[in-house]
A and B are shown apart, each in its own frame.
Chain A
């Protein structure tokens, strides 16, 4: 072995160690719950054995020795000589941690300095404490092999299980030729070959003995669970050279007393324990493993870059193609071919891109599997009882993200355990179950991954956060008094703020949430908190699926095109210049009654104006972006649409200019810059929204908005709250026997809706339905009603000072259908009272069938 260059295998070895440690961690947690589960013990034992084997082959003696002792302990558990107690589990966990340290020592090259003796002693102590008089009855198996074969209870159990899964148990006896050199190597080869054929549950003599050249005679018997036929097994074993004879004997099934093979004298007889029958449907002992290849991440990264370039070229092709149709109408055939090719190319590239993304994706399970252990330890330390549930383990995300989000999640979990969940006694007192519940959930939502951590603890008390924040000086009392509860809760993201009454070594020092937020911001993610005092807290983290190719919104700031990562874009609104105000020399916008800090990116970035864009506008495009908990509006000159972009670094030479996260190449080959939303938001969010004029708020309350529409030449208005939907005109199903006003019914997303022709209702001339015709769905008690109008114009904002109320019964309002008239300059909008319109319209005939269980009328 010494001749090999082991360093080449070190990576593989370390990966394997990680894998096995992961298995140990999770399986031991199961063991703690179900101490007698044979499969779990089997898995644990196998993992420990693999660890020992691989560390031995790499020549890491100390690791081998330690894992050997650990394996012995598992062996005792397996043979029911040691009972599983919490104390035992603790020691095992400690040992696993120690192996992790050993692993690190191997990486650092300091393995020789590690002292394994105290840990080995602990394991020995366990053995001494737990040793019970052996109660296993030994079954002697006489087979054609020359080695005595004994199966213990545990192994018999496994065989029983195997039968229920349709496997066959066979005893494979192999004799090596007498003068064979390196018998132990042959034995291992046989062992490996058999492992391919099925599951080896026992070997006689034990594998360890086979490994020692001196003691090994060349005779061996394996007990194998397999689905292969006898001949197949013989063939498999015979691939190894220097084998004298191979014999395969079927072990009889327990229920079947008749020997399946005259050569097999022994039956593995066992009364089936009910436990085994009821066994949960864990996959059969031998899991189907898909063949995999380990690939260097750099290589993947390179391929990903190439795919990125293809994506860029493809958008360029599409771009050229669209320009061709404009100019070259004469060459339709060629363009058609080009079309075909570009379409096919796009499809292939899209699939390639998805495929590449998938290779970078790993199930979040890899990350989640670390948590149960951590939750258990943290809960124990903080004396909480916790039921930990994980959902959506199979959710896949980019491997680079998995590492990055680990810390924030651990932190949030610790917080939930330490601060969120109350002590068991306290919980009982307030009528909650003793065990606190924490649900960690991962799911895909469109192009994002959403991870939420929900606890049923005491929730975050905004007042406490406020006190803490004021005490820490993060915020003045005056400022704090203006914040909403939600804004107060978000203060926990400020450094130094903590609601914990006492600081533990787990959390409470108030530094953590700050870091969590920073982490998530770095990943271009968002974080949200929902908390109800006394009921619990939900932290939601929203992250982009991958970091390399992202969806973005293209906008123009002045003459420049910028890409804004779509994950940060919450909405795009158009804001009237009237709604933009100066507060503290800063522009803020009023959006649905909330104050939004605005940033004119063009000025911030000092970009020259684009001549084609008019300078003074009545309305501004505002892109509402968010990072973590903050929201601001960016004023853009133009929005260009969404596009998938490949993030490219600007390189070291350019460095990292302010507000710019990188660059990307557009469809026309030009370079667009990617806006670093987090830096803009961070800078802007530093000041809290203060001194917002209160009277402005008041005014806002009095402000009313109307959806306006046209009938003939007049403009009418409907309160925006009442307008549930505006749809273009679908097929209208005529209804017989109804009033003239009623046009019929339509099917609006599965709901039948009566539609009234407002023209008819107002005794106007009936007009054809045009492209501009719309149906406004008006909310109405009991049943919504649709009104057909000529055209929906826009939204009218007005306050009640501008509305004149015509006296009832005056000559132009004899039917009382008019609520008021709004005059804004030359624009006159008649505000209608839809309650009255609906009531005075006869829509009864179709109300009838609607109330029946089975509607007679069906929309197409």
Chain B
């Protein structure tokens, strides 16, 4: 599992959600797409925006704004879908903007502070160029949706 690897050996994909910088290990990311037409599905969890067609496969897409209980996102042409590996299938995350792919230095990553909500989602925070980038706990983002 990528989670167990020391944090400084892998690259991270850095993107923003509601202005906040988040990142995911590059090994968790399958690909990054422009936002295609999303087909919403009635009667499913509200954080799932819908499904998309990725080269013949049906992929669910999560609205991170809803996931993090943030105000609704404004559509922008820089929006992307980050396809990540879920337990059984690939899952897409809608992000505001993909910023870069980078390495973090171990010294610059700190465990999350005691705030309840953030602890749920972040594995840690990295300081990079004077900015704070959250390292997302993908499992929790995907599978601890609550009711």
Contact = CB atoms under 8 A, between A and B. Distances in A.
Contact of A671 (B39, B48, B89): B39
A651 B88 contact: yes
Give the residue among B36, B42, B60, B91 with the most A Cβ atoms within 10 A: B42
Contacts of B50: 671
B44 interface: yes
A848 to B, nearest CB: 66
Contacts of A650: 41, 51, 58, 60
A841 to B, nearest CB: 59
Given A651-B88, A665-B53, A671 B43 contact: no
A contact residues, range: 20 to 34
Contacts, number: 72
Nearest to A654: B60
Nearest to B87: A652
A650 B39 CA distance: 12
Contact of B88 (A560, A652, A670, A673): A652
A657 to B, nearest CB: 4
Interface in B52-107: 52-53, 56-60, 86-89, 91
Give the residue among A312, A669, A672 with the most B Cβ atoms within 10 A: A669
Contact of B58 (A606, A651, A659, A669): A651
A605 interface: yes
A659 B59 CA distance: 19
23 contacts: A313-B56, A560-B40, A605-B43, A648-B57, A650-B41, A650-B51, A650-B60, A651-B60, A651-B88, A652-B87, A652-B89, A653-B88, A653-B89, A654-B48, A654-B51, A657-B43, A657-B44, A660-B42, A663-B51, A663-B58, A671-B51, A671-B52, A672-B39
Contacts of A671: 37, 39, 50-53, 58
A309 interface: yes
Interface in A667-702: 669-673
Given A312-B56, A665-B53, 15 more contacts: A313-B56, A605-B42, A607-B42, A648-B58, A650-B51, A650-B58, A651-B60, A651-B89, A653-B48, A653-B60, A657-B42, A660-B42, A665-B56, A670-B37, A671-B39
A650 B40 CA distance: 12
Nearest to A671: B39
A85 B43 CA distance: 64
Nearest to B48: A654
A652 B51 CA distance: 12
A663 B39 contact: yes
A670 B58 CA distance: 10
B42 A653 contact: no
Contacts of A651: 58-60, 88-89
A669 B53 contact: yes
Contacts of A431: none
Contact of B43 (A309, A659, A663, A665): A659
Contacts of A648: 57-58
A655 interface: yes
A673 B41 contact: yes
A649 interface: yes
Contacts of B36: 669
Contacts of A606: 42-43
A669 B44 CA distance: 22
Interface in A602-654: 605-607, 648-654
10 shortest interchain CB distances as A-B pairs: A671-B39, A657-B43, A309-B56, A605-B42, A652-B88, A651-B89, A657-B44, A658-B43, A654-B60, A653-B60
Contacts of B53: 665, 669-671
B137 to A, nearest CB: 17
A312 B54 CA distance: 12
B17 to A, nearest CB: 19
Interface string B15-58: 00000000000000000000011011111100010111100111
Give the residue among B43, B50, B52, B57 with the most A Cβ atoms within 10 A: B43
A670 B48 CA distance: 17
A672 B40 CA distance: 9
A671 B56 CA distance: 10
Nearest to A670: B37
A654 B36 CA distance: 18
Give the residue among A607, A649, A651, A673 with the most B Cβ atoms within 10 A: A651
Nearest to A668: B37
Nearest to B52: A671
Nearest to A602: B42
A735 B5 CA distance: 94
Contacts of B40: 560
A683 to B, nearest CB: 13
B113 to A, nearest CB: 30
A309 B54 CA distance: 11
A813 B62 CA distance: 73
Contacts of B91: 653
A607 B41 CA distance: 9
Contacts of B142: 653
A649 to B, nearest CB: 7
A653 B86 contact: yes
Nearest to B55: A309
A635 to B, nearest CB: 16
A669 B109 CA distance: 42
B89 A660 contact: no
Contacts of A313: 56
A860 B57 CA distance: 54
Contacts of A663: 39, 51, 58
Contacts of B41: 650, 654, 657, 660, 673
Contacts of B59: 651
Nearest to B86: A653
Contacts of B89: 651-653
Nearest to A559: B40
B126 to A, nearest CB: 28
B51 to A, nearest CB: 5
A446 to B, nearest CB: 28
B58 A649 contact: yes
A247 B25 CA distance: 77
A308 B58 CA distance: 13
A659 B51 CA distance: 16
Contacts of B37: 669-671
Interface string A281-320: 0000000000000000000000000001100110000000
B43 A670 contact: no
A63 B40 CA distance: 57
Nearest to A669: B53
B10 to A, nearest CB: 24
A659 B37 CA distance: 22
A92 B16 CA distance: 75
B87 to A, nearest CB: 8
Nearest to B50: A671
Nearest to A662: B58
B43 to A, nearest CB: 4
Interface string A197-238: 000000000000000000000000000000000000000000
B30 to A, nearest CB: 14
A312 B44 CA distance: 26
Contacts of A312: 56
Nearest to A605: B42
B44 A654 contact: yes
Given A651-B89, A653-B88, A660 B43 contact: yes
A70 to B, nearest CB: 48
Contacts of B56: 308-309, 312-313, 665
